[in-house]
Structure 1
């Protein structure tokens, strides 16, 4: 009889590509991963991994068994989901990830409501960029991820995931208080063509969106400063170092010395929750999505 935990270890190795990655995904030591794989090899009487430089690779037998392991674990997920649905109780552990402003803007209210309504539910959370959150759900490292895409730039979504909309998060432009356009009731992005921009780090989904959007308006952005946190971006605007676009969710208190001006064209990012379809019937996921949606309605009211 194949041991389920050993199959889970093999599946983690196949998904992460290394012993250390599998250990991190399973929240165990690398020694524990190696021991489980050794026991699995002994159990089936075939070699599953081989040395590959400083790392390891799956043998043909390892690839074959890993494919079966993925299907078996998916069926186990279906079974657990059905049992939870049959019991109808929101219990157990739920692992949720979100990009930083969603974690700040949604998690406190949503988690407080969940803890009050469902004391048998244990919540675990972490901050992840949208693409990383999607990958974590696909790998099974997270049960739910709160992700985003912009109105004109969708986030690629692999098969096997379900999703639910949480909110549309409007974005505004932020200028130094003494800027020549700071007293305007609204602005178009192309009016800021000659400005220094403060935005997210290179490679971040939101920076890609900003560059894509400005170029679509025949504006080549001059990115002078990069900062991951919106609070840092706003502080830099207040110091007169440039302008930025900032969404409303999780924005927090706007510092003195800046002016927030609505954009003439409604620009919004769509915030939604994603989870694996084989866990679709879990009451804990449904309860979490409902709580996140309610928190989103309050956060943007």
Structure 2
């Protein structure tokens, strides 16, 4: 009989593309995942992974097993949902992803409260960008994701995925204290011609929003520096190396050398909880969504607005 955990390991490799990334998503070591797949190869007397450059690729037989794994994981999820729903209590394991600033500014309080209120619920969080997390939920790798989109770049909604709006996160223009915008109450997009920027790398939602917004205003962005984390971007602004558009959630207090200026119109990103339709009846899903809603007002107020 095929072992479900070994099938899950193969499924994770198919989703993430490498044994190392699959291991990270499952909370295992790369060696453990390789051993699981080696055992599955022995059980099936089939080659499942082939060397390809510095990585691996799945054989045709492996792809067939991955499809079977998806079906089995769906059946198991349905059984777990039915059992949890009958008990009426959030329980079991819940794998959730959150983008960086939500993981920092929203999730600690949410996870701490759930741990106290529901000790039989084992929530495991990973920091994952929305471009990846929504797809991972749709594929069954994650149970939930806290994701975001921008007013001009809606979040894609794959089939079989549901979402709930958590709240709206406002975004400010951050400039060095001696910058020409520092004493202004508001700045418009048309004022940005000739400015140097610091922002997240290409492919990130925030980067795509900045590129689209400035180009719509007829300005080709001059990005001098890229960084993944907002605190790094704030440090680059403080050093006078560029200006940045950074949301308030999880940003923390600004250093004395950085000034927040209101952009007109104010950029807004929308936060969502995402889960699969098949798991919608799980009390754990409902409780996570409720707790996210409950904590959002405090998280949204965590960073002082402009003028404070």
Q: TM-score, normalised by structure 1?
A: 0.88
Partner of 1:202: 202
Q: How does 1:133-148 map to 2 (within 5 A)?
A: 133-148=133-148
Alignment of 1:25-44 (within 5 A): 25-29=25-29, 32-33=32-33, 35-37=35-37, 39-40=39-40
Q: For residues 20 and 236 of structure 1, do their structure 2 counterparts lie closer, same or farther at Cα, with a shift above 3 Å needed?
A: closer
Cα offsets for 1:33-55 (capped at 9, x unmatched): 455445545656x5352645566
Question: Displacement, 1:251?
Answer: 1.4
**In structure 2, do the counterparts of structure 1 residues 250 and 50 end up closer, same or farther at CA, with 3 Å as the change threshold?**
closer
Higher deviation after alignment, 97-106 or 230-239: 230-239
SS at match of 2:264: coil
Question: Where do 1:184-195 residues align within 5 Å?
Answer: 184-195=184-195
Q: SS at 2:278's partner residue?
A: helix
**Equivalent residue, structure 2, for 1:47:** 46
Aligned residue number for residue 103 of structure 1: 103
Q: 1:86 to 1:240 in 2, by over 3 A?
A: same
Q: Which runs of 5+ in 1 are unaligned?
A: none
Q: Is the 8 A contact 2:181 2:261 kept in 1?
A: no
Number of aligned residue pairs: 300
CA–CA distance in structure 1, aligned partners of residues 128 and 64 of structure 2: 31
Aligned equivalent of 1:112 = 112
Which stretch of the first structure deviates more once superposed, 174-183 or 72-81? 174-183
SS in 1 for 2:106: helix
Q: Residue 12 of structure 2 contacts residue 141 of structure 2 at CA under 8 Å; is this kept in 1?
A: no
Root mean square deviation of aligned Cα: 2.5
- The aligned residue for residue 268 of structure 2 is 268
Cα drift, residue 220 of structure 1: 1.1
Q: Distance in 2 between matches of 1:167 and 1:242?
A: 29
Which deviates more, 69-78 or 139-148? 139-148
Structure 2 unpaired stretches of 5+: 302-308
TM-score, with structure 2 as normaliser: 0.86
Contact kept in structure 2, 1:149 and 1:271, CA below 8 Å: yes
